[in-house]
Structure 1
Amino acid sequence: MRILIVTAGSRGDVAPFTGLGVRLQQAGHEVALAAHDRFAELVRGSGLEHRTLPGDPVELVRARTAAPSPEDARSVFAEFLDELGDGVVAAVAAGTDLLLTAFGPAPLSRLVAGGFGIPSIGVYLAPGVPTREFPPPGWPEPGQVSPADNLAAAREVLARTGSLHADVLRRLRTRFDLPAAAGEQAPPDDWPICHGFSPAVVPRPADWPVTTHVTGYWWPAPSPGWRPPARLVDFLQAGPPPVFVGFGSMTPSHGRLHAVVAAAVERAGVRAVVQSGWAELGPVGDDILLVGDLPHEWLFPRMAAVVHHAGAGTTGAGLRAGVPAVPVPVLVDQPFWASRLHLLGVAPRPLPLPELTAETLADALRSCLDRATYRDRATELARRVRAEDGPGAVLSLVTQIAPGG
């Protein structure tokens, strides 16, 4: 069967689907992954077909950040979604029997799949279905709220998402001659959705539809032939395990961040591997090694602790490695994962980026390193998430939906 996975966004929105795609391919399916051209090498390097989606997520973030007003920022994103809709149509038209879609492009993907008369499945990296048990990712956390408030907040998030997609969905309906559908920003209860995180991290809410699953993580496919840079190996061997500092695809306009990281590393008395990332981090220090993109599955187990933006993929990689974390959330679902890490006992309280100082970061690092409970809990949790077979659960569902594929 020909399977197309559609995702949009940063590297963390793409990498987990390479592992999922490889597992489906190993089961005999033909798998293509539609993503931005920035990640074409990542997709092809895992042995999957890459299909192009328009737009550059780095430029999108920068353009939205530079927009002079919320209305202008909304216009920038609306234009991106309009191009993305055409990209999803082209990716499906290239040939597929089943569409798997990430949360971001899900409204577009569901409609396009319907237009082509093929089934679709949601493959989400963060909770994307309303529940009474917790607020939705991306919702400001006001403290203790009622189950009814949690449900209302999740429905409001879906409604906002739908309003952003309204124009492109209307255009695509006309293109495929489909009838208007009320509330199409939210999937129907019988639409199957798989969540690629561990039930040990976020237990499946009891009020989710029976077609909504929590499968376990989908780990990025290994990079064949990858070898660590010699200078990184030398740095690791030259002293005690360092800490990792990186903010992934975040592009914070905080010039002070370089000085904050450098001062915190010195104040905490640690060595650090700092990933420049989209934020172009460049702190200077005798005990700091700057690196570019590296496989987290190789690097994190060699760290004493990891400081990161608490994106879904990076959070999962840290949990898999069994090391304590210092979450520094910025936006969207990151505060949700940061709070979850603290709740799980593998991290101190989150340090939101705008409030980050050298003192708070150094204190959090020392807490991670000096309190054995963080590492003990991280080690225990790592055993559980490693034992799960997330891609296998998706494969089982795919087989049920298209047993003759």
Structure 2
Amino acid sequence: MRILIVGVGTRGDVAPYTGLGARLREAGHEVAVAAHEPYRHLVTEAGLDYLPLPGDPLSLLSISAFRHYGEQLVEGLAGLAGQRADLVLTGVAGTPACHVAEAMGVPSMGVHLQPIDPTGDFPPVMSVVHRSLGRWGNRRAARLAFEVPAAGPLVAGLSTRIRARLGLPPMPARALYLRRETMRWPVFHGFSPLVVPRPADWRTGLEVTGYWWPFRPPGWRRDPRLRDFLASGPKPVFVGFGSLAGTRAERYTELAVGALRAAGLRGVLQTGVRGQLSDDVLAVGDVPHDWLFPQVAAVAHHCGAGTTGIGLRTGVPAVAVPVKHDQPFWASRLTALGVAPAALPFRRLTSARLAAALTTVVTDPAYRRRAQSLAAGMAAEDGAAPVVAAVDRLSGAAR
């Protein structure tokens, strides 16, 4: 079976699909991943076929480029209809690719990194409102996100525009949602049920499988400078702000260095610069987190879904510094699980606040004990297996 995985977004939206794709390839399927150009190497290094999507999602970190990116995304997704595929798998940001599958005449499934379906357990994950609205309010608000086109220029009318571009009959957002629910459109969620238990009020077809870990190329070698730094003193802490780091690298680096100095800690930074900043601070580029995190005393990060998962997998206590989108949700889970103190929203972050939080998680052993206990439970999970099994069943039925 030829499988097309649509990974719209930044690095954290693509990397988990390299691991999932590699497992599907091992099961005997052909796998292609559609992603933006900056993440081509993630796909090809995993031995998967790469299909380009136009546009750079990092441009959305500035305020100006929403409409242009939306236009590029419509064209890029619609262009995938000309590819060969027997099944389309799509993440949250690439959900309009289900229309591409319809145009191709093939089935589709969701492979979501965030739990966006309506539930009373928590408010809409991608909303600007992060406090609970009560069980009824939480469900209603999440359903409205499906039924009412968003006000922003990027999302508003995206399904309508793609359907028109593909020559499919128009269908309002509410009708699309009702069709999705009536057909029990299958969605697999790539995070641990120990981190987010499957909501009891979810319908049939919505499954929580466990994490899909990014593929690490077998030829990867650690940087000797990083190896030597890690061996040269007490365990450092990690500070990284994900894709945001590249937008104001010097400012974020200055903030992190100030926090480390105030806390008296060594640090490995992933803040958009590189090099030995002092005897106690090393700034690095792209390093596999599953290799790095077990060697640090704590991780302070932006709470992207993937970084959150790898931090939990490696049993390291955290400092949550959420920025936007689903990040406040993952930050709240870290706090609820007892592996992090109260979150520090990025807009209110200072060196002093970051220093205090890092000191807390490094000196209080309870955070590490809870992180290690959770990691032990997650080690028994195989998040890719249910997806592979579902694809195999579909492949067998098609023969």
Could you tell me the TM-score, scaled by structure 2's length?
A: 0.93
Q: Which of 83, 86, 109 in structure 2 is aligned with 1:94? A: 83
The whole-number CA distance in structure 2 between the counterparts of 1:342 and 1:221 is 28
Amino acid in structure 1 at the alignment position of 2:233: G
Structure 2 CA distance for partners of 1:261 and 1:162, relative to 1, 3 Å: closer
Distance verdict in 2 for CA 1:224–1:91, change over 3 Å: farther
Quick one: which amino acid aligns to residue 129 of structure 1? D
Offset of residue 88 of structure 1? 1.9
1:122 aligned partner: 110
SS in 2 for 1:365: helix
Q: Distance in 2 between matches of 1:54 and 1:124?
A: 22
How far apart in 2 are the matches of 1:197 and 1:27?
Answer: 21
Matched, 1:181 2:188: no
Counterpart AA for 2:169? P
In the other structure, the counterpart of 2:71 is 82
Partner of 1:287: 280
1:237 aligns with 2:231: yes
Q: Give identity over the alignment, percent.
A: 48
State whether residues 19 and 220 of structure 1, in contact with CA within 8 Å, keep that contact through their aligned partners in structure 2: yes
CA separation of 1:255/1:2 partners in 2, compared to 1, >3 Å: closer, same or farther? same
Within 1, Cα distance between the matches of 2:149 and 2:295? 39
The question of 1:385 aligning with 2:373 is answered: no
Higher deviation after alignment, 262-271 or 1-10 = 262-271
1:395 match? 388
Q: Distance in 2 between matches of 1:335 and 1:9?
A: 18
C-alpha displacement of 1:143: 4.1
Q: Which residue of 2 aligns with 1:267?
A: 262
Amino acid at match of 1:229: D
Query: Where does the alignment leave 5 or more consecutive residues of structure 2 unmatched?
Result: none
Q: Which runs of 5+ in 1 are unaligned?
A: 68-75
Preserved contact between residue 242 and residue 303 of structure 1 (Cα < 8 Å): yes
Where do residues 358-373 of structure 1 align in structure 2 (5 Å cutoff)?
Answer: 358-373=351-366
Partner residue of 1:317 out of 285, 310, 322: 310
* Residue 167 (structure 1) shift: 3.8
Give, in whole Å, the separation in 2 of the partners of 1:370 and 1:390: 33
* CA gap 1:256/1:38 in 2 versus in 1, 3 angstroms: closer
The equivalent position to 1:137 in structure 2, one of 88, 103, 125, is 125
Output the TM-score relative to the length of structure 1.
Answer: 0.91
**How many angstroms does 1:168 deviate by?**
4.1
Q: Would you identify which runs of 4 or more consecutive aligned residues in structure 1 move more than 6 Å?
A: none
Q: Which amino acid aligns with 1:178?
A: L
What is the Cα deviation at residue 176 of structure 1? 3.7
Measured in 2, the distance between the counterparts of 1:82 and 1:299 equals: 38
Structure 1 residue 224, shift from structure 2 partner: 1.9
Structure 1 window deviating more from structure 2 (187-196 vs 394-403): it is 394-403
Contact 1:259 1:283 in 2 (8 A): no
CA displacement at 1:285 relative to structure 2: 3.4
Shift of 1:358: 1.6
Q: Tell me how far apart the structure 2 counterparts of residues 114 and 145 of structure 1 sit (CA, whole Å).
A: 35
* Conserved 8 A contact 1:258-1:283: no
CA drift at 1:258: 2.8
Q: Aligned ranges for residues 294-333 of structure 1 at < 5 Å?
A: 294-333=287-326
Distance 1:38 1:161, change over 3 A: farther
Partner of 1:341: 334
